[in-house]
Amino acid sequence: MLSFLWDLASFIVALGVLITVHEFGHFWVARRCGVRVERFSIGFGKALWRRTDKLGTEYVIALIPLGGYVKMLDERAEPVVPELRHHAFNNKSVGQRAAIIAA
């Protein structure tokens, strides 16, 4: 039983590292392309830990560590104030959007 728990814990940690690196790729390229990143989340569900940086990005570690996501500013998802429209994902060039998605 202890071996199973150790294997499960190792799997969750390895998966968490893989997810973090994967999502960080999207985050990094989005930032370099001038897209406002609203949230960088590892896990789903209730937030266990959260911090907001000086650029307004909220970093979250959530309860269920089986995925993650990067939420970017996008006029198709919600209204964007005019002064931030140039930071919206949907207003970037096709090449920039492709780079962000492919990262």
**Has 23 been annotated as catalytic?**
yes
> What is the DSSP-derived secondary structure letter of residue 5?
H
pLDDT in tens, 66-101: 899 999 999 999 999 999 999 999 999 999 999 999
Cα Rg of the chain, angstroms: 16
Task: Please pick, among 23, 58, 75, 83, the residue that the annotation labels catalytic.
Answer: 23
pLDDT in tens, 9-63: 999 889 999 999 999 999 999 999 999 999 999 999 999 999 999 999 999 999 9
Number of domains the chain contains: 1
* Distance (Å, whole) CA 21 – CA 45: 20
Residue closest to 31 by CA, chosen among 72, 68, 63:
72
Q: Kindly report the pTM of this predicted structure.
A: 0.88
Provide the residue range defining the domain that includes 27. 2-102
Does the structure show a pLDDT above 90 at 2? no
